[in-house]
Chain A
Amino acid sequence: MMGFESSGGHMKKDINQLFVYPKSWVSTETKEIAASVRQWANKEVIAKRIDYQEDYKKLFSEARKKLAFDIGCQGLMLPEDSGGFGFNRLTDAPLLISILKEISRADAGIGFVHALEYTVFSIFAIEPVMNPELCGKLAPLFCSKTLKTVSLILPGFGKKGIDDPLFEGRSVRARIQTADEKCMLSGRDLRPIGCGADAALFCVICSDANEQPCVALVPGDSAGITRHETIRKTGLDGCDNADIDFENVQLPKENVITRNRAAYELYAWLNLLLAGVSVGACMGILEIVSAWSGKRIIKGKNLLKDNPLCAAVLADVYEEIAIAWLLTHNLANSFANPGEWGNSSSPLIFSVSQMLGRRVQESAIRAINRTMELMASEGYATEGGVEKMWRDVKTIQSCLCGPGGEVPTKLDVAKCIFDSQTI
């Protein structure tokens, strides 16, 4: 029976051997790159967990730099001729989630930052939709030796009494107007999915004059951008977010992507990549609870993990993670093989990505919740390392929830699978 032999959070056995999934979905190259990221995780974060928590903002930034530049995660997905590492094929989807898992095993906050980045890059840098002009313009921002973040603004809540253009029921509150070769972007009190306070690039789903969705890429130093106060939130402490106003922000026409269903691609990629992040956080949780349950005594004499009730809870934790793992890799595999189910803009992949993404987040939350139930106060205390992952994954789940939680995703599925109309 394979077991954990952990020491200070390190596992002597590869955690990848504990989860059953088709190994053919993950290439040798992917495994090698993931192993490098794991070394970074073990050395830069996990080995110094207590210090990392106490001086979080500073050490978060330092750890990110090593990952971004020494390993190359910041430019990973950008084309080689734009200065990146060229992992910009659809077949690289399993690689991306494998990397995000390894990053997030150490810190889901860092994983989140990269997941947002890769989501935004998916819209202009990934084949077959790769746009050389945009890559040439935007890639240098991310291939320099300066840490950068991106921010994503999706349709969401509307306000009572105001009729907005809609994207599958969600209000699109950013508007783009085109005149000659210039576009102007406007929108107030827009809530980004993360990193709005310091993003170098915003990716905004907006509506055009015909109320059709399009995607605007907005450099963070553009005139007319106002960032409101940094938002205090449940988790993702290193990722500063803020509400954004765009007041007639001028953009060149090539920065506005109008191809059919581009907005749908963003949802699909975001759900896939954040699934990778939350599964990674769960890997970290599994290591912690395994080490803890191997030492904890209950009823005065028995190891906790040898008590049937507690063992059943541990099994629940593993089960939720195993299912989430399998779903995430399955989704990545479908992205890598668009000939089978359609590409990321297809109605089926759009719906299924959201559905599976939601399910993975739910499984992750359940796994962490059950872990905390077992660990009780040690799970709740900062120094246990569990509560941060709990807060981070819950914040990620919130980001993915549309207006009304799971409902928009369910209605998208109903429309796709059951041809529901007028919902």
Chain B
Amino acid sequence: MKSFDEFSRPLDRISPMEKPFRAVIRNWVEEEVMPYRREYDEDWKEHRFIEPAMEKLCVGLGIQKCLFPKAFGGWGLGESDSLAALTYALCEEMARGDSALSLANLASLWSLTTFLVKPNINRRLAKEIAPMFCDTDKLCICCQAMTEPQGGADIENMGLLKGRTLRTTARLEGDVWVINGHKLWPTNSGGTANLFGVPCTTNPGSSDPDDFAYMMVPAHFKGVTQSEPYHKAGMAADKNGEIWFDNVRVPSWYRIHGPGKDADVFKQLISFGLLGSVGFAMGAMINVYEILYDFVSGNTYANKPLKENDAIAGVIGRIAGDIDISRILSYELVRMIDSREKPFGNPLSSEETIAKARNIKDFVSDRTVENIGKAMDVMGVYGSDRIMDVEKHYRDVKMIQLWLGGKQLCQAEAARYFFNCETL
């Protein structure tokens, strides 16, 4: 194999936009990320190195406006048939440099998909919000504020709990929603976000989908407070903290759709989140492959290059094989999402799509954690060196395995779907 581009992809179905798109992002990674990424861990609070890279991508290259309709100054990607393919390519290319940067970017777009992606485009809200992202030379970040102190997996577990555990409330007073609640851990919090996407309930304790509401809340509105970021094991470019909403008043049209539809669109969000997750995992694995390739070619055991020892070849062959299989699965997820409005496709909120998407994410993230750990082992005492750039991926990708409900929710939803479980 000549380069990592030759890991399997469905070449018969690749969008013609993907190649030039990848080239632009790859160039950004080489110029703006690779030279500085070893400083990212210590930069977790200030983002002195991280923010310039985000700005070049989001503002300079225009990624922050990509989902908005062209009529409002965006790229119109929300109306594209290749949204998932290009999103995946974006995530993978960025994560090859740094998966947390990739996450921060994708998570900013993630919340916006609730009202910018067909067939759920809310043109009134899009027009209202567009200037923040499109008519500016400043970085604008969105945060999907889902998790609450009592748990995040439960909120996501729409299949079983249907939003019953949500404690963040929305109360309609005339033409205004009044939001109260406490969120923690979302990506792009800790003082970063300019705009929040907030799952909440209009009737605490209810499992009626009509009572689930999703609100867009500008961060500068009165009553919104953000904490300092938490310190974590990795993922430094992703700031996570707490957010308090204290009688925050937003116009009624800041609810993305309405009763019933909000819950349905929120379930679709999960599929996009899972797509991003496999993209980040794949990007990290591909970079580890590049590094490992050089390492096993230049270092020896028994005075022969590591890769020429049969037993070591068995280990690294398995690593590369798992990367290839994971990529095939990732593109299957791309296909599932991009075919959502096709006759042969399924809605993103369908039980089938969510269960299969979770399955793919669970499988790919497990292989990623396992294989990057193995790559560190192959590199022996050098495996844990910051300067080799593998251990950083190891610390970052663990978070991919943990989020969006983690392993246990993925397993439960797979069981529910494939075995028609009734009481899980």
Q: Say which residue of B377, B385, B412 sits within 8 Å of A406 (CB atoms).
A: B377
Cα separation A398 to B161 with both chains bound (whole Å): 42
Q: Which chain B positions have C-beta within 8 A of A410?
A: 311
Interface 1/0s, chain B 204-242, versus A by CB < 8 A? Answer: 000000000000000000000000001111110000100
Cα separation A164 to B303 with both chains bound (whole Å): 7
Q: Check B303–A313 contact: CB distance below 8 A.
A: no
Q: Which chain A positions have C-beta within 8 A of B152?
A: 376-377
Q: Say which residue of A160, A169, A232, A394 sits within 8 Å of B385 (CB atoms).
A: A232
Interface 1/0s, chain A 347-387, versus B by CB < 8 A? Answer: 00000000000000000010001001110110111110001
Q: Check A407–B312 contact: CB distance below 8 A.
A: yes
Cα separation A77 to B272 with both chains bound (whole Å): 58
**Chain B CB within 8 A of A303 CB:** no
Residue from B160, B165, B301, B376 with most neighbouring chain A CB atoms (10 Å): B301
**Chain A CB within 8 A of B68 CB:** no
Q: Check A398–B230 contact: CB distance below 8 A.
A: no
Q: Which chain A positions have C-beta within 8 A of B147?
A: 377
Q: Say which residue of B157, B160, B384 sits within 8 Å of A394 (CB atoms).
A: B384
Q: Which chain A positions have C-beta within 8 A of B402?
A: 372-373, 376-377, 379-380
Q: Check B377–A398 contact: CB distance below 8 A.
A: yes
Q: Say which residue of B373, B380, B406 sits within 8 Å of A157 (CB atoms).
A: B380
**Chain A CB within 8 A of B151 CB:** yes
Q: Which B residue's beta carbon lies closest to that of A382?
A: B231
Q: Check A404–B309 contact: CB distance below 8 A.
A: yes
Q: Check B408–A310 contact: CB distance below 8 A.
A: yes
Q: Which chain A positions have C-beta within 8 A of B17?
A: none
Q: Check A381–B373 contact: CB distance below 8 A.
A: no
A residues 141-194 in Cβ contact with B at 8 Å? 156-160, 162-164, 166, 169-171, 191, 193
Cα separation A310 to B303 with both chains bound (whole Å): 47
Q: From residue B158, how far is it (CB to closest CB) to chain A in Å?
A: 13
A residues 104-156 in Cβ contact with B at 8 Å? 156
Q: Which chain B positions have C-beta within 8 A of A399?
A: 381, 384
**Chain B CB within 8 A of A13 CB:** no
Q: Which chain B positions have C-beta within 8 A of A313?
A: 408
Interface 1/0s, chain B 377-389, versus A by CB < 8 A? Answer: 1111111111100
Residue from A160, A193, A310 with most neighbouring chain B CB atoms (10 Å): A160
What range describes how many residues of B lie at the interface?
A: 35 or more
Q: Count contacts between A and B, CB distance < 8 Å.
A: 179
**Chain A CB within 8 A of B281 CB:** no
Interface 1/0s, chain A 279-315, versus B by CB < 8 A? Answer: 0000000000000000011111000000001100100
Q: Check B161–A299 contact: CB distance below 8 A.
A: yes
Q: Which B residue's beta carbon lies closest to that of A310?
A: B408
Q: From residue A111, how far is it (CB to closest CB) to chain B in Å?
A: 17
Interface 1/0s, chain A 395-423, versus B by CB < 8 A? Answer: 10111011111111011000000000001
Residue from B164, B302, B382 with most neighbouring chain A CB atoms (10 Å): B302
Q: Which chain A positions have C-beta within 8 A of B150?
A: 297, 300
Q: Check A298–B154 contact: CB distance below 8 A.
A: yes
Q: Check B240–A309 contact: CB distance below 8 A.
A: no
Q: Which chain A positions have C-beta within 8 A of B401?
A: 373
- Determine, out of B18-26, B100-108, B292-300, B327-335, the stretch whose residues face the partner at the interface: B292-300
Cα separation A313 to B297 with both chains bound (whole Å): 39
Q: Check A234–B232 contact: CB distance below 8 A.
A: no
**Chain A CB within 8 A of B153 CB:** yes
Q: Check B381–A193 contact: CB distance below 8 A.
A: yes
**Chain A CB within 8 A of B340 CB:** no
Say yes or no: A369-B369 contact (C-beta < 8 A), given A313-B408, A376-B406: yes
Q: From residue B360, how far is it (CB to closest CB) to chain A in Å?
A: 17
Q: Check B232–A380 contact: CB distance below 8 A.
A: yes
Q: From residue B293, how far is it (CB to closest CB) to chain A in Å?
A: 13
Q: Which chain A positions have C-beta within 8 A of B170?
A: none
Cα separation A231 to B385 with both chains bound (whole Å): 7
Q: Check B161–A233 contact: CB distance below 8 A.
A: no
Q: From residue A224, how far is it (CB to closest CB) to chain B in Å?
A: 23
Cα separation A170 to B384 with both chains bound (whole Å): 19
Q: Check B300–A234 contact: CB distance below 8 A.
A: no
Q: Check B185–A299 contact: CB distance below 8 A.
A: no
Say yes or no: A234-B381 contact (C-beta < 8 A), given A404-B311, A406-B315: no
Q: Check B385–A381 contact: CB distance below 8 A.
A: no
Q: Which A residue's beta carbon lies closest to that of B376?
A: A398
A-B CB contact pairs (8 Å), 21 listed: A157-B382, A158-B299, A158-B301, A159-B300, A160-B297, A160-B300, A160-B305, A162-B300, A163-B303, A299-B160, A300-B150, A309-B411, A313-B408, A369-B398, A376-B153, A377-B240, A398-B383, A399-B384, A404-B301, A405-B378, A407-B311
Beyond A164-B303, A401-B377, 9 additional contacts (C-beta under 8 Å) are A160-B300, A171-B303, A232-B386, A369-B398, A391-B395, A398-B381, A401-B381, A407-B301, A408-B301
Chain B interface residues toward A at CB < 8 A:
38, 147, 150-154, 157, 160-161, 164-165, 185, 230-235, 240, 296-303, 305-306, 309, 311-312, 315, 369, 373-374, 376-387, 391, 394-395, 398-399, 401-403, 406-408, 411-412
Top 3 A-B pairs ranked by shortest CB distance?
Answer: A405-B377, A387-B233, A404-B312
